[in-house]
Amino acid sequence: MVDVGHKAATERFAHARAFVRMPERAEAALRAATVAKGDAFTTAQIAGILAAKATASLIPLAHPLPLAKVDVAFAWAGGGLLQIDATASTVAATGVEMEAMTAASVAALTIYDMTKSLDKGIAIESVRLIEKRGGKSGTWRVAAEP
């Protein structure tokens, strides 16, 4: 692991985004909350939050962090595209980018798992960092969204 023992604990924030593209049948089931496995959005939200908390166990050499807040939110972006936004914050000596990206990734995988019986063509199209704040490098934001 990288030694962060000499770094001061500062406020850290990260925002990650994932997209899941799905055919009309799967989108309709999600919108109507008629997915056979149950409440897909709540399940994916909880899965994302738990994944953020487990990032140090999942990503080799990631530091365990005392997360102050993790949030996972969903919005339809049109054309069967579900946008998943995950944010994480803490006061620590290292950032929470991996926690936010892990939350977005696992939430997307959970949506896939909850809807895969409707159509195997559901695809996780991207996971990326949108913004990070704090630490020596300060604030960074993605230049443009695809």
**Which are the catalytic amino acids?**
113
Tokens of 106: 């696992």
Tokens of 42: 């709540």
Tokens of 56: 């140090």
The secondary structure of 81-139 as a DSSP string is: EEEEEEEEEEEESS--HHHHHHHHHHHHHHHHHHHTTT-TT-EEEEEEEEEEE-STT--
The C-alpha atoms of residue 104 and residue 96 are separated, in whole angstroms, by: 13
How big is the chain by its Cα radius of gyration, in Å? Answer: 16
Tokens of 25: 């049948």
